[in-house]
């Protein structure tokens, strides 16, 4: 959980980087940028607002052999050790970004590198390094007064309501590659920012593991439970799965399987599906982990609990009271009409 409201930009360096494949070059500022009292809160909001509004999916620096060979990990580590030297390190970060700007779709833009103080992560105050980039320029009108006329001038600038790219590297979990958040408003070059420049992989914390396991369960319900049984059982399986996560602090796969899978014939199917599909979700050897409640809440909102029929009728299942679907909804086959049907029992209609 992050809290950026009380954070402070201690120092800020601004450079410009172009597209290397188009020989656009780059510009490194000789000195840090001097903010005034009017601009400082606007820049803070510009940089940090996208991170307050997005889901917390953390990354970490990753290298195939060792982090000591990871350029960005080394530069950020040196910044945390010598924050007073961040401007010199910011030049190296910008040069590294320029070297990765080879794809013709990559746009030139301004690079902002900030040292952030009083950042709160998981209820702990710490410093962080922010790396941000503005790419898209917008037209705006600037006005000036003549002797008897008001004159309009078309200019271009950066919209402070939309950050194009950004990353916050928290001074936390250094041994694992730091905890990192990233935003990217322009998806045409996602690999350039996350993979080529930052060189990160997903941070396998409880939030990541909870989300991945629930996504695995959702696909198992769609690929195995639905064909083997019906839509009602697919919905109910996911309902039981989410409820199991919601009421437990620690996930244990054996307990999960026994509680969630009603049909014993599907237990070997579940194990087989995991063996085949686990690498896709990065849960190969995962049988026990702490559960993140925020991830469960987010997953519950995304899971569909509606049975959509081809007769333009919908049956919405209640995730809060799943026993109602078990007791009061039955599926059958009508020989005369040669159609399936759902039989729904109730005492009275509820007023909406």
Alpha helices in the chain (DSSP H): 39-52, 71-81, 86-99, 190-191, 206-220, 226-228, 231-247, 253-260, 266-281, 293-302, 322-328
Catalogue the E-assigned strands of 122-219: 124-134, 137-145, 150-158, 165-170, 179-184, 200-202
Q: Which residue has the tokens 């970490």?
A: 60
Quote the pLDDT of residue 186: 77
Q: What is the pLDDT of residue 320?
A: 57
User: Residue 323: its pLDDT value, please?
Assistant: 65
pLDDT of residue 193: 93
Instruction: Delimit the domains of the chain by residue range.
Output: 2-203, 207-344
pLDDT of residue 303: 73
Backbone angles phi, psi at 104, to 5 degrees: -60, -20
pLDDT score of 233 more than 90 = no
Place of tokens 């730091």: 178
Is the distance from CB of 296 to CB of 210 less than 8 angstroms? yes
Q: What is the CA radius of gyration of the chain?
A: 26
- In whole angstroms, give the CA distance from residue 181 to residue 55: 10
CB 198 within 8 A of CB 180: yes
Phi, psi of 294 (to 5 degrees): -65, -35
Helix or strand holding residue 28 (H, E): none
pLDDT at 291: 94
> DSSP letter string over 225-250?
IHHHS-HHHHHHHHHHHHHHHHH-SE
pLDDT at 296 over 70: yes
* pLDDT tens sequence across 297-319: 888 877 777 778 888 888 777 65
As a whole number, mean pLDDT of residues 4-20 equals: 95
Tell me what pLDDT residue 341 has: 86
Q: What is the pLDDT of residues 187-208, one digit of tens each?
A: 767 688 999 999 999 898 898 9
């Amino acid at each position: 959980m992050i809290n950026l409201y009380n954070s402070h930009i201690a120092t800020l360096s601004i450079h410009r980087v172009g597209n290397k494949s188009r020989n656009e070059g780059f510009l490194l500022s000789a000195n840090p940028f001097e903010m005034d009292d009017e601009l400082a809160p606007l820049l803070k909001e510009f940089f940090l607002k996208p991170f307050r509004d997005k889901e917390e999916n953390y990354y970490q620096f990753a290298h195939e052999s060792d982090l000591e060979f990871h350029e960005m990990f080394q530069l950020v580590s040196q910044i945390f050790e010598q924050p007073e030297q961040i401007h010199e390190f910011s030049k190296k970060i910008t040069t590294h970004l320029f070297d990765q700007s080879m794809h013709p779709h990559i746009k030139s833009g301004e690079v902002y590198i900030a040292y952030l103080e009083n950042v709160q992560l998981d209820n702990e105050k710490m410093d962080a390094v922010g790396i941000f980039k503005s790419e898209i320029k917008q037209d705006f009108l600037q006005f000036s007064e003549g002797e008897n006329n008001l004159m309009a001038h078309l200019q271009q600038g950066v919209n402070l309501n939309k950050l194009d790219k950004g990353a916050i590297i928290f001074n936390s979990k250094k041994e694992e590659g730091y905890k990192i958040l990233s935003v990217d408003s322009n998806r045409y070059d996602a690999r350039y920012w996350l993979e080529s420049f930052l060189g990160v992989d997903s941070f396998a914390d409880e939030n990541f593991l909870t989300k991945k396991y629930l996504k695995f369960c959702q696909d198992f319900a769609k690929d195995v439970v639905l064909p083997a049984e019906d839509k009602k059982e697919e919905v109910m399986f996911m309902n039981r799965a989410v409820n199991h996560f919601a009421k437990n602090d620690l996930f244990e796969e054996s307990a999960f399987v026994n509680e969630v899978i009603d049909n014993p014939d599907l237990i070997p199917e579940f194990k087989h599906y995991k063996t085949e599909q686990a690498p896709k979700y990065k849960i190969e050897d995962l049988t026990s982990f702490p559960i993140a409640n925020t991830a469960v809440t987010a997953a519950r909102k995304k899971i569909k609990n509606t049975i959509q029929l081809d007769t333009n009728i919908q049956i919405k299942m209640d995730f809060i009271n799943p026993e109602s679907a078990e007791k009061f909804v039955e599926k059958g086959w009508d020989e005369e009409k040669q159609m399936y049907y759902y039989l729904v029992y109730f005492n009275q209609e509820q007023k909406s």
